[in-house]
Structure formats: C-alpha cells, structure tokens
Amino acid sequence: MRKGASGPLLILFKDILMIEHNKRWILQWFLPVLIILTLFYLFPLLDAIRLSFTNARIGLANVKFSLSSYEAVLTDPDLPVVLRNTVIFVIFTVFCQLTLGLLVGLLLETHLKGMGLLKLAMITAWVVPGVIAGITWNLLYSSASWGVINNTLELFGAEKISFMTNPSWALVATIIANVWRGTGFSGIMQYGALRGIDPQLYEAASIDGAGSFRRFWGITLPMLKPMLMINLVLITISTVNTYDAIWALTKGGPGISTTVLSLQTYKSTFLRLNLGQGAVYAVLMILSSTIFTAIYLRMMKEENRG
C-alpha cells in the first residue's frame, strides 16, 4: 500500500476505468460491487470526514463548515479518558486473544482425546452475538444470587469483586468478556497455520536433540509469524470497532470508565444528536486503526532488517 490508505482506492478506480477495450466486460461485471461499495462505504466514509468539519446536528437547519466540532471534541475533558480506555482495551484484548489462540492451537495440535470439544466450545463462544455475550457476562459478574463468579470466589474464601461498579474492574471485566468472544477467530487461524508446518522440521530438530521448548522457539514461533502478524492487524481493527458486547455489558460505565471510542461515537451522534462531533470521533476511530496497523508494519520491517 503506497500513499497510505487512499492509494489502493484511487488505483482501483483508475484501473477499472482504464481497462483495455476488449476487457470491458470486466468493468461491467464489477458494477454491482462498485455501486454498492461506493454508495454504502466510500460515500458515507468521505461524508463522515466532511461532517466532522461542520457543526451539523440532527434537526439543525443551516449547517456551516467550521472547526467547532474538532475544537469541542479535542478540548473535552473526557477525551483523554476515552483514549486511555481505548488503548488499554485494544492492547490487552489483542494480546490475550493472540496468546490464548496460540495456546488453543497448540492444544488442538496434540490430537489428544477431547480436543474436539475444546474447538467446539471456542467456536461456539465466537458465534454468540455480541449483545448476548454482554448480557451473559453481566449476569456472571453480578454480586446477586446468580453471580457465579463472585459466589465461587466467596466459596473459596476470597472477597467479592464489584466488577460492574468499580471503574478499574469494569474495564478488566470488559476485556475478559471480549477475549472470550474473540479468541475463536485467532485460535482457528493459528491452528490452521500450525497444521501447515512440515512435521519433518520437528523430526530433524528432535534428532539434533532439541527439547520441546527449543522446538517451540526455534520452529513453531518463526513459522507462525506471518499468520500472527495478519491476525494482529485483523484483531486490532475489529477490537477498535467493537461496540455491541461493551454496550450490553456496561453501557460504557460506571461513569465513562469503559467508554471506548466506538461508544463515544454512538453517544455523540445518536444520544446527543451531534453529527459533527460524532463524525470527529469516527475520524479518531479510523486514525487509531491506522496508527496501530502502522506500528505493527514498522515493527515487522525492523525485525526483518535486524
């Protein structure tokens, strides 16, 4: 991708329009995708960026171009908290999903008895709609009679944790629920990658006397690296965009302690009916996905050089 994110887009349209005459059929066959993506993605995306430079509100008649929305968002005392929540939420979710996914992948790869059930359980968690995941974890975390986690803690003599009312615990609780739901994706991909590793590599290493730990660091991890990097980017983007599970679990609370950028975008646009400021938050969401991805790509490049 040169020229950043807009590069492929420009080339996409230029290329499709300039296809040689005898290949015009290709253009026609692209029409459905081209029309739908332009109407529902490209146009709304550009329009969100345009709206961010206006004072648009739902119900406001004369919309003017101004930087007032950016000013309001950037000077909002909540913004540092929301950004901090987003960074913590994304980094810990992504790290845990990758690690647990790798662990599940390794377990499945042993082909010991019962591993099929683990795979099934992990995929089931992944297909549970986000809202239902949020509702379920909210019940699990409860301090009431049905709160299994707290009652089990008590059973072992530990103290109850107020997951939903203590700001720090609420963020931890949100991360755990999100890891539960998201690990299936990373687990299946890493299992697929693990299965693709040539068994002869392991055999050769064993003959050389390498223990299982050294085989893991020397063969498994390096072979998995490309898949881990793809996973890292995909999971990060989807975590920045996560909305439904958090909304059903905490509504962003207590206070704003679990409000991440995606929830703040919703609150501004649809609760405060401020399209301009909502659009600014949307732009911040795109920026954070881009920044995270750029950091990974930089890391990858540096490692390849070193």
Partner 1 sequence: MDRHYSPTQKVFIYIFYVILLVFFLLPVVYIFAMSLKTEAEVLDKVHLFNFYPKRPTLENFGRVIKNVRMDMYLANSAKLVITTSIGVLLAAFPSAFALSRGNFKRKELVMMGVLFFQMISPIIISISIYWYYSKLHLLNTYSGLALIYIAIHLPFTTFLMKGVFDAIPRDLDEAAHIDGCSRFATLLKVIIPTAVPGIASATIFNSINAWSQFIIPFFLISDNKLYPVSVGILQAQGSYQDVSTHYLAAASVIGLFPAVLLVLFLQKFIIRALTAGAVKG
* 222-241 positions binding partner 1, by CB under 8 A: 227, 230-231, 233-234, 237, 240-241
Rule CB under 8 A: say whether 297 interacts with partner 1: no
Identify whether the C-beta of residue 235 lies closer than 8 Å to the C-beta of residue 98: yes
Site string for partner 1, 161-180 (x = CB under 8 A): -------------------x
Of 156 and 306, CB closest to partner 1: 156
Of 304 and 306, CB closest to partner 1: 304
Rule CB under 8 A: say whether 208 interacts with partner 1: no
CA distances from 196 to 102, 189, 190, 193, 223 (A): 14, 11, 10, 5, 9
Of 252 and 278, CB closest to partner 1: 278
In the complex, the smallest distance separating the C-beta of residue 159 from partner 1, rounded to whole angstroms, is 15
Of 55 and 306, CB closest to partner 1: 55
Rule CB under 8 A: say whether 16 interacts with partner 1: yes
In the window 178-197, what residues touch partner 1 (CB under 8 A)? 180, 183, 185, 188-189, 192
What SS3 state is found at 54?
Answer: strand
In the complex, the smallest distance separating the C-beta of residue 271 from partner 1, rounded to whole angstroms, is 11
Rule CB under 8 A: say whether 255 interacts with partner 1: no
Tally of residues, the chain = 306
Query: Virtual CA dihedral for 141, 160, 101, 115, nearest 10 degrees?
Result: -90
Which residues contact residue 70 at a Cβ distance below 8 angstroms, ignoring those fewer than 6 apart? 52, 53, 280
In the window 71-130, what residues touch partner 1 (CB under 8 A)? 100, 103-104, 107, 110-112, 114-115, 117-125, 127-130
In the complex, the smallest distance separating the C-beta of residue 234 from partner 1, rounded to whole angstroms, is 7
Rule CB under 8 A: say whether 29 interacts with partner 1: yes
Tell me which H or E stretch contains 29. helix 24-37
CA 51 to CA 253: how far, in whole Å? 28
CA 86 to CA 259: how far, in whole Å? 8
Window contacting partner 1 (CB under 8 A); options: 74-82, 158-166, 216-224, 267-275: 267-275
Site size toward partner 1 (CB under 8 A) is 102
Window contacting partner 1 (CB under 8 A); options: 69-77, 82-90, 163-171, 271-279: 271-279
What SS3 state is found at 161?
Answer: coil
CA distances from 44 to 5, 40, 182, 268, 289 (A): 16, 6, 28, 17, 18
CA 143 to CA 133: how far, in whole Å? 18
Identify whether the C-beta of residue 249 lies closer than 8 Å to the C-beta of residue 257: no
Window contacting partner 1 (CB under 8 A); options: 7-15, 89-97, 158-166, 217-225: 7-15
74, 148, 204, 291: residue in contact with partner 1 (rule CB under 8 A): 148
In the complex, the smallest distance separating the C-beta of residue 72 from partner 1, rounded to whole angstroms, is 16
> What token pair was written down for 302?
């540096």
82, 94, 96, 133: residue in contact with partner 1 (rule CB under 8 A): 133
Q: Cis ω on the peptide bond leading into residue 254 (within 30° of 0)? A: yes
Which residues contact residue 139 at a Cβ distance below 8 angstroms, ignoring those fewer than 6 apart? 146, 147
